[in-house]
Amino acid sequence: MADVAHAAGVSHQTVSRVLNAPQTVSPDTRQRVLRAVADLGYRRNSVARALASGHTRLIGVVVDELAFHGPGSTVVAVAEAARQAGYAISLDPQVTMSTDTVSAALDRLLSRAVDAVIVVSAHGWADIDAAAAHLDVPVVSIDGALGGATASVGVDQRAGAGLATRHLVELGHRRIAHVAGPADWPQAAERRAAVAQTIAEHGLTPGPVLEGDWSARSGHVAMRRLLQRHRDVTAVVVANDQMAVGAYRALTELGRRAPDDISVVGFDDIPEAAYLSPPLTTIRQDFSALGREAVRLVLSALAGEPCPSRLIPPKLVVRASTARPRGGQSATR
Amino acid sequence: MADVAHAAGVSHQTVSRVLNAPQTVSPDTRQRVLRAVADLGYRRNSVARALASGHTRLIGVVVDELAFHGPGSTVVAVAEAARQAGYAISLDPQVTMSTDTVSAALDRLLSRAVDAVIVVSAHGWADIDAAAAHLDVPVVSIDGALGGATASVGVDQRAGAGLATRHLVELGHRRIAHVAGPADWPQAAERRAAVAQTIAEHGLTPGPVLEGDWSARSGHVAMRRLLQRHRDVTAVVVANDQMAVGAYRALTELGRRAPDDISVVGFDDIPEAAYLSPPLTTIRQDFSALGREAVRLVLSALAGEPCPSRLIPPKLVVRASTARPRGGQSATR
DNA sequence: AACAGAGGATCCCGGTGCGCT
DNA sequence: AAGCGCACCGGGATCCTCTGT
């Protein structure tokens, strides 16, 4: 910067002004400085800026399961939105999510002096809240259950699972099973609760619930068990699309077919969902919107404005894995 | 830090030394300082550190298609390896990869004063090389084709495609098609070349080649076309697993089955591959190894050691989507 | 004489590296 | 040998001066 100042025949403060508040510098001088900047290929050093100004324009992102489609899309959207606002992302992906690992991550991020933190994880919010409670930077959680001390953005899981279940009920299914996610994941619990509630609301008896771990493998195991033990089930809500892939496999192995023998609804709408056989009816979550919204909240918080938690509504995408039960009748009047 | 120094009754420089080179401080003083650090919950500020020391211990990561399994896994591995070496990650994901977007990303990263850059993208290396050529920090590319100015790590694409093709030849297939990735992606080109070469090496005539864009959708389109126009084909090498999902869908729609009517080999080994119907024979790429290796190279470069480009061998994972052609004979003696 | 705008002088951010006591 | 003082990293913020009206 000193070089630029020298080349332009001004002081370094003037250069700083040109870069930060151009209108306070006369057009003439401004041009000279800008030329010098261009000529010397000068690029201002954010480290020094951060030290002097007290903020890094860096958002720390703690994320779980980054290799999956949902979190990956969300992180891309976060980065993109942040970039547009002049912020960069410091990523701290976790392989295991626990109070310890999260607080270690927050610690690393804070020592990097991030201006805010976004936590992308569906894996429980109690820990995050606890770890984030007395931080002096804004923390926004994505996909964590709402509530607690930190602001958060999420997809309305109950609405989604309700949508899925109602779709099946309206097709005429009366015995609906659920392949749930791990019980200790709030999202899994909410989906599960909403499935049960919707079934109850329609006066049906609760169907069997099996628990998976979000993986195709676990979906396969759960569905095999389901098909073998609960022959009266005509439809199943699977808590995510990966498990639905495993469920499909189980169907094939046992000689059953969707939707003829059993209807299947997934959750997420991964890009492959439309190309499975049969194309999977599922609940679409807008992962990108989640990321953008989180950044919006962060910027609000940084600006001292209130930043209320928000729920984004999911959408039912009907494809070919659901149909009326064989010999059943539609409940739709 | 001044507070800590005061609390411990030493100067702030001594505190600095306790944190950076503990052995140069007497055990006694060291204890006092460490206590003060703990009591005050002191956490050193990397921004100031960076400014004074000249390095940020930050690795910039430019990545393409982060929402997919491969890049996602790689980034996680990069971050993990970096973390272990005391480095953090600044992420700059791209939605479109071009000379402009990449150099803008490098620019942002450099102005953040990253110590090194890792570029994760299979989308051509010429641009990256050009943009990275006269950077003063080490640049390592992952998945970019080897060669050029930047060091790189990648999976041996030719070996992988060769493995896939040879597997089919050895099963007795004589008419092998290829659903390739976009021609302007070096990896797609290499896979395509290796398929052709392997076919030629075995004295077979080249099969039809169709081009997709890595998506399930494009795999679906390509496979439909293939099945309709080239009825003599008994096996197909699909350039990635997503497209294979689409290809499966086309098979189902047209009433064909794998491997009975046609054998299918994918590429990547995404987690769902084992749960498709039939379970997909594919080429496994070790994405995590890629990430770890890239960080190793970066650290070498930073230490002033040479950092030679490296290729990681892929593996053939045989599952149920490949078999001898109907009525054909195995070429295996 | 008072005032507004342009640009300069200084100190400061929170550490590190070195020479010196 | 242990510990201290000083300069310095590269910019920002505040206050101040100078010019012209």
pLDDT, residue A145, reads 56
Give residue B126's pLDDT: 67
In a domain, B324, yes or no: no
**B87: nearest CA in chain A?**
A108
Q: Among all residues of chain B, which has the CA nearest to that of A57?
A: B112
Q: Is A134 helix (H, G, I), strand (E, B) or coil?
A: coil
Would the Cβ of A20 be found within 7 angstroms of any atom in strand D? yes
Q: What is the mean pLDDT of residues B20-35?
A: 90
CB contact under 8 A, B76 and A89: no
Supply the CATH number for residue B30's domain: 1.10.260.40
Which residue carries 């002081």 as its tokens?
A11
The residue with tokens 């005050």 is B40
Could you tell me the distance in Å between the CA of residue A10 and the C1' of nucleotide D18? Answer: 15
A307 or B60, higher pLDDT: B60
Residues B273 and B172 in one domain: yes
Tokens 């324009």 correspond to A57
Q: Which residues of B touch A47 (CB under 8 A)?
A: 47, 50-51, 56, 112-113
pLDDT, position B122: 82
Instruction: Find the nucleotide nearest A51 (Cα to C1′).
Output: C13
Of A111-120, A149-158, B246-255, B291-300, which range is least confident?
Answer: A149-158
DSSP assignment of B204-236 equals: PPP--EEE--SSHHHHHHHHHHHHHH-TT--EE
What number is the average pLDDT over the span A103-110?
92
| A244 confidence band (pLDDT: 50, 70, 90) | very high
Mean pLDDT of A298-325: 93
Q: How far apart are CA B160 and CA A71, in angstroms?
A: 29
Which residue of B1, B91, B92, B107 to mutate against A (max A Cβ within 10 Å)?
B91
The residue assigned the tokens 């976009």 is: B182
Whether residues B132 and B211 fall in one domain: no
Contacts of B220 in chain A (CB under 8 A): 275
Residue B190 to residue B160: CA distance in whole angstroms: 10
What is the rounded average pLDDT of the residues B170-181?
97
First-to-last C-alpha distance (Å) of chain B? 75
When pLDDT is averaged across residues A181-189 and rounded to a whole number, the result is 90
User: Residue A12 has what pLDDT?
Assistant: 92
The model's pLDDT over A109-147, given as tens digits with 9 standing for 90+, comes to 999 999 999 999 887 666 677 777 778 899 999 987 556
Q: Is residue A326 part of a domain?
A: no
How far apart, in whole angstroms, are the C-alpha atoms of residue B191 and residue B180? 8
- Summarize pLDDT for A194-219 with one digit per residue, the tens: 999 999 999 999 999 999 999 999 99
% of chain B at pLDDT higher than 90 = 75
* Beta strand spans in chain A (E): 58-64, 88-94, 116-120, 139-142, 151-155, 176-180, 209-211, 235-238, 263-265, 282-284, 310-312, 315-317
Structural domain contains residue B322: no
**Which CATH number is A299's domain given?**
3.40.50.2300
Q: Which of A188-197, A218-227, B95-104 has the lowest mean pLDDT?
A: B95-104
Mean pLDDT over residues B76-83, rounded? Answer: 98
Q: Is B108 on the interface with A (CB under 8 A)?
A: yes
| Protein CA at B119 to nucleotide C1' at C18, angstroms | 37
Subunit contact B48:A44, Cβ cutoff 8 A:
no
Confidence (pLDDT) at B328: 53
Same domain? B184 vs B74: no
pLDDT in tens, A261-270: 999 999 999 9
| Residues A130 and A119: beta-carbon distance below 8 Å | no
Tell me which chain B residue has its CA closest to the CA of residue A243. Answer: B272
Q: What is the pLDDT of residues B184-218, one digit of tens each?
A: 888 899 999 999 999 999 999 999 999 999 999 99
Q: What is the pLDDT of residue B330?
A: 46
Element (H, E) at B194: helix B186-201
Q: Which of A104, A103, A79, A77 is nearest to A90 (CA)?
A: A79
Query: Do A223 and A179 meet the contact criterion of CB atoms below 8 Å apart?
Result: yes
Q: What is the largest CA-CA distance in chain B?
A: 88
Q: Name the pLDDT band for B332 (thresholds 50, 70, 90).
A: very low
Burial classification of residue A294, based on how many CB atoms lie within 10 Å of its CB (0-12 exposed, 13-18 middle, 19 or more buried):
buried
Interatomic separation, CA of residue A26 and C1' of nucleotide D20, rounded (Å): 14
pLDDT bin (cut points 50, 70, 90) of residue A330 is very low
Residue A163 CA and nucleotide D21 C1' are separated, in Å, by 72
B83 touches chain A (CB under 8 A): yes
Mark whether A176 and A262 lie in a shared domain: yes
Mean pLDDT of the residues in chain A: 92
Q: Distance (Å, rounded) from C-alpha B264 to C-alpha A275?
A: 16
- CA separation for the pair A93, A96 (Å, rounded): 9
Tokens 């390896």 belong to B81
At B302-327, the pLDDT tens digits run 998 888 888 999 999 999 999 999 86
**Does B138 contact A at CB distance below 8 Å?**
no
Side-chain-side CA neighbours of residue A115 (13 Å): 24
Tell me, yes or no, whether A244 and A300 share the same domain: no
The answer to whether some atom of strand D lies closer than 7 Å to the beta carbon of B52 is: yes
Among the partner residues B51, B68, B277, nearest to A47 by beta-carbon distance = B51
The arithmetic mean of pLDDT across residues B141-167, rounded, is 87
Tell me if B222 sits within 8 A of B192, measured CB to CB.
Answer: no
- According to DSSP, residue A23 is labeled G
CA distance A314 to A282: 10
Nearest-angstrom CA–CA distance, B117 and B83: 15
Residue B207's pLDDT is 96
What mean pLDDT do residues A257-281 have?
97
Residue B92 bridge partners (DSSP): B62
Does residue B13 approach strand C to less than 7 Å at its CB?
Answer: yes
B134 and B174 assigned to the same domain = no
The total of structural domains in chain A comes to: 3
Cα A305-A310-A316 angle, rounded to 5 deg: 155
pLDDT at B129: 74
Collapsed DSSP state (helix, strand, coil) of residue A206: coil
Average pLDDT, chain B: 92
Nearest Cα residue in chain A from B114: A47
Q: What pLDDT score was predicted for residue B186? A: 87
For tokens 């939105």, the residue is A81
DSSP per residue, A101-117: HHHHHHHHHHHTT-SEE
Q: Which helix (H) or strand (E) holds B74?
A: helix B69-84
**Residue B278 and residue B161 share a domain:** yes
Domain that holds residue B251: 157-285
Kindly state the DSSP code that residue B181 receives in the 8-state scheme.
-
The answer to whether residues B69 and B146 belong to one domain is yes
Sort strands A58-64 and A116-120 into parallel, antiparallel or unpaired.
parallel
Let me know if residue B274 belongs to a domain: yes
In a domain, A333, yes or no: no
Which residue from A82, A73, A80 is spatially nearest to A116, judged by alpha carbons?
Answer: A82
Above 50 in pLDDT, residue B119? yes
Lowest mean pLDDT among A9-13, A314-318, B75-79: A9-13
A244 contacts chain B (CB < 8 A) = no
Bridge partners of A139, per DSSP, are: A117
B130 lies in a domain? yes
Least confident of B6-15, B82-91, B285-294: B6-15
pLDDT score recorded for residue A296 = 96
**Cβ separation of B113 and A79 shorter than 8 Å?**
no
A21 strand C contact, CB < 7 Å: no
A55 touches chain B (CB under 8 A): no
